[in-house]
Chain A
């Protein structure tokens, strides 16, 4: 009997040593930790690139977007959009409660009312109660994918799914006709999210589309265009 027990213990030790039965990290907890970390971000920069499908914003085909955010309300976003196959940059500055647009070759101009409200509020995207921090842990079918390296740092790759409503509440111009799969890369050290890929039927006409978002410069210095007084 003692001999059997000893063999069983040896076998268990061997298994543990090989890691064969090591449980995967808790993906839900990783998302929850990252939500808390993202809730404490004061400034951030992000670039969004459309990698599949067509997404239109204000009637223009979106190619990419680059934003600098200073919480709680300020942001400076440059949308690169296409008209036929000519690309141009449309800059939207939200600062001090005002919204300004910069169309190429023209001066910065304030927009107000419904038109101003229709532009995506990038600061809201990082708001602790309504933005990413609130939505991140609410994903379903959450799964730990792998531990990976991203830009030389250890990250946890987690996949999850969000409802069309959740995605729409984040970015109003993303109207999905079905659940959106999100792949998130979460830094193991500080739980911030440097990269996310969203894939779902949020393209124009409910067709498939995918966007890759790279988030950088957490709590760093950001540059937001100051409108002329």
Chain B
């Protein structure tokens, strides 16, 4: 019996565990940030807890695939799992000692992201190594699907595990749990894949200059977008110099990568409007997707006053919509083509976001038949995102030869994660600025402190609701922008195999 499915399954499982942690913090953020001394009035300081992971993820993703070509998949994969597990330990211990405060937590999340991000190209490369026939596309798709599934399931997973472990270690349990899971995956891979790695030459090195350019560029970008004084301005006081430094560094990285990647990716592909369009569309989709994954649980907590678990569960309908849409997208694209299907997906999500932009404080009480209106809106939104995944990925794969499928799929994931990182940073800065503008400086004249705090809670909830309505409108605009990019760049042809 072939060991390939087991081997790929273990690699995929490690990737899935790491991808879960990208947004696992969304529902845990209030508790985590409180434990490192962040209070609601300084909540912008919690942003790097999410963006730190994404930055590590994006830095590692393009670096480690090529490195593993020479060093061997399994040693590099296990090293990435070790980095992810170490980052989990650092994250889990944040706030336990006076020296382990916010920088410690962000450092842990960055390390988690570095390890987790490295697993994306490695898993894709393992899939490509194992399957060299027609089933390669299915294997690559499965790995990419696990990464996507991990990302979108993260918030609900975090809330569920934390609720189950309330008496143990609360939110910390989510990160402690990564240790045995990483160990299991690493041990399984080492046991199952020893033979696959034999005889791999050890001659290559990590492209440290690229790593430095990308890491510093992303750091400068996240810093430029960090809202250091959201009460008075939307972006950092050093936005312009920080932004210029980010553009220069990321431009240098891109230039270097284009030169280095030429042997791997055909020049025609890099100049192909379809490839560039799909990449741009994925950046926009990532930015819109992050609105749902991060902001919907926040609306649940801050506006609908739900517990952590319930705010995570609010995403359930969205999560059901995505795979249904993905399957439907594959079927529809094969009949009417990738472009029309992807456009339809974005149109559906844009419409759902517009509906969500009219949410009220008692939205969860409003029903359409037996279903809550909010759940319907989220399910439709997820359906739209699902519809676009398959045709867009297939569109990119159709442009590449079989041996480049791993790299091409990796670039799709990279573009989407990049969009998530930039989208999250930008929308958080905008959102916090708008929140302060909307809330103003309320004067509370209630007779008792508790009444005054309750009054403030109502005002804060109303300000957050208005802020998130505006963010949903922006998300709708991002979907429309992605729709236009797809319409102008993606080939109208039906799904096809690699050329």
A residues adjacent to B (C-beta < 8 A): 58-60, 63-64, 80, 82-89, 101, 103-107, 109, 111, 115
How distant is the Cα of A173 from the Cα of B107 in the complex, in angstroms? 37
How distant is the Cα of A115 from the Cα of B34 in the complex, in angstroms? 27
How distant is the Cα of A107 from the Cα of B442 in the complex, in angstroms? 8
CB neighbours (8 Å) of B436 from chain A are 105
Taking the closest CB of chain A, its distance from the CB of B20, in whole angstroms, is 21
| Candidates B41, B442, B448; contact of A89 at CB < 8 Å | B41
Q: Are A87 and B442 in contact (CB under 8 A)?
A: no
Interface residues of B in 135-178 (CB under 8 A from A): none
Q: Closest B residue to A119 by CB, please name it.
A: B449
Q: Are B40 and A86 in contact (CB under 8 A)?
A: yes
Q: Are B456 and A106 in contact (CB under 8 A)?
A: yes
**Known contacts A89-B39, A115-B449; A105/B34 CB under 8 A:** no
Interface residues of B in 304-345 (CB under 8 A from A): 307-308
Complex A-B, nearest 10 residue pairs according to Cβ-Cβ distance, in ascending order: A87-B34, A104-B41, A85-B31, A88-B40, A89-B39, A87-B39, A86-B30, A88-B39, A85-B30, A59-B450
Q: Are A103 and B34 in contact (CB under 8 A)?
A: no
CB neighbours (8 Å) of A82 from chain B are 34
Does B409 sit within 8 A of A, measured CB to CB?
Answer: no
How distant is the Cα of A60 from the Cα of B452 in the complex, in angstroms? 13
Q: Are A87 and B449 in contact (CB under 8 A)?
A: no
Taking the closest CB of chain A, its distance from the CB of B442, in whole angstroms, is 6
Q: Are A107 and B441 in contact (CB under 8 A)?
A: yes
> Can you name 23 A-B pairs with beta carbons within 8 Å?
A59-B449, A59-B450, A63-B34, A80-B37, A82-B34, A85-B31, A85-B34, A87-B38, A88-B40, A101-B449, A103-B444, A103-B449, A103-B453, A103-B456, A104-B40, A105-B436, A105-B456, A105-B460, A106-B441, A106-B443, A106-B444, A107-B443, A109-B443
How distant is the Cα of A228 from the Cα of B450 in the complex, in angstroms? 24
Q: Closest A residue to B435 by CB, please name it.
A: A105
How distant is the Cα of A106 from the Cα of B456 in the complex, in angstroms? 9
How distant is the Cα of A104 from the Cα of B307 in the complex, in angstroms? 22
Give the one of A87, A111, A115 with max B CB within 10 A. Answer: A87
A58-B449, A107-B443 are known contacts; what are 18 more A-B pairs with Cβ within 8 Å?
A: A63-B34, A64-B37, A80-B37, A83-B453, A84-B307, A85-B30, A85-B34, A85-B308, A87-B30, A87-B38, A88-B39, A88-B41, A103-B453, A104-B39, A104-B40, A106-B441, A106-B456, A111-B449
Q: Closest A residue to B32 by CB, please name it.
A: A85
Taking the closest CB of chain B, its distance from the CB of A220, in whole angstroms, is 20
CB neighbours (8 Å) of A87 from chain B are 30, 33-34, 38-40
Interface residues of B in 442-465 (CB under 8 A from A): 442-444, 448-450, 452-453, 456-457, 460
Give the one of A59, A80, A101, A104 with max B CB within 10 A. Answer: A104
Q: Are A105 and B442 in contact (CB under 8 A)?
A: yes
Does B439 sit within 8 A of A, measured CB to CB?
Answer: yes
CB neighbours (8 Å) of A86 from chain B are 30, 34, 40, 301
CB neighbours (8 Å) of B33 from chain A are 87
How distant is the Cα of A88 from the Cα of B460 in the complex, in angstroms? 13
CB neighbours (8 Å) of B453 from chain A are 60, 83, 103
Give the one of B30, B33, B39, B450 with max A CB within 10 A. Answer: B39
CB neighbours (8 Å) of B444 from chain A are 103, 106, 109
| Candidates A59, A64, A80, A105; contact of B439 at CB < 8 Å | A105
**Known contacts A58-B449, A87-B34, A115-B448; A80/B443 CB under 8 A:** no
CB neighbours (8 Å) of B456 from chain A are 103-106
Give the one of A64, A85, A104 with max B CB within 10 A. Answer: A85
How distant is the Cα of A85 from the Cα of B159 in the complex, in angstroms? 13
Taking the closest CB of chain A, its distance from the CB of B186, in whole angstroms, is 33
CB neighbours (8 Å) of A106 from chain B are 441-444, 456
Q: Closest A residue to B41 by CB, please name it.
A: A104
How distant is the Cα of A89 from the Cα of B436 in the complex, in angstroms? 17
Taking the closest CB of chain A, its distance from the CB of B38, in whole angstroms, is 7
Q: Are B441 and A105 in contact (CB under 8 A)?
A: yes
CB neighbours (8 Å) of B442 from chain A are 105-106
Taking the closest CB of chain A, its distance from the CB of B242, in whole angstroms, is 27
Could you give, for residues 187-208 of chain B, a 1 whenever the CB lies within 8 Å of some chain A CB and a 0 otherwise?
Answer: 0000000000000000000000
How distant is the Cα of A86 from the Cα of B450 in the complex, in angstroms? 15
CB neighbours (8 Å) of B41 from chain A are 88-89, 104-105
How distant is the Cα of A64 from the Cα of B442 in the complex, in angstroms? 26
Taking the closest CB of chain B, its distance from the CB of A155, in whole angstroms, is 18
How distant is the Cα of A168 from the Cα of B41 in the complex, in angstroms? 31
How distant is the Cα of A13 from the Cα of B87 in the complex, in angstroms? 58
Q: Closest B residue to A59 by CB, please name it.
A: B450
Taking the closest CB of chain B, its distance from the CB of A62, in whole angstroms, is 12
Give the one of B31, B34, B460 with max A CB within 10 A. Answer: B34
CB neighbours (8 Å) of A88 from chain B are 39-41
Q: Closest A residue to B34 by CB, please name it.
A: A87
Taking the closest CB of chain B, its distance from the CB of A114, in whole angstroms, is 10
How distant is the Cα of A103 from the Cα of B41 in the complex, in angstroms? 10
Taking the closest CB of chain B, its distance from the CB of A112, in whole angstroms, is 11
Q: Closest B residue to A47 by CB, please name it.
A: B98
Q: Closest A residue to B40 by CB, please name it.
A: A88
Q: Closest A residue to B38 by CB, please name it.
A: A87
CB neighbours (8 Å) of A64 from chain B are 37
How distant is the Cα of A109 from the Cα of B449 in the complex, in angstroms? 11
CB neighbours (8 Å) of A63 from chain B are 34
Interface residues of B in 422-449 (CB under 8 A from A): 436, 439, 441-444, 448-449
How distant is the Cα of A107 from the Cα of B445 in the complex, in angstroms? 11
Taking the closest CB of chain B, its distance from the CB of A198, in whole angstroms, is 18
CB neighbours (8 Å) of A85 from chain B are 30-31, 34, 308
CB neighbours (8 Å) of A105 from chain B are 41, 436, 439, 441-442, 456, 460
CB neighbours (8 Å) of B457 from chain A are 83
How distant is the Cα of A64 from the Cα of B35 in the complex, in angstroms? 11
Could you give, for residues 266-308 of chain B, a 1 whenever the CB lies within 8 Å of some chain A CB and a 0 otherwise?
Answer: 0000000000000000000000000000000000010000011
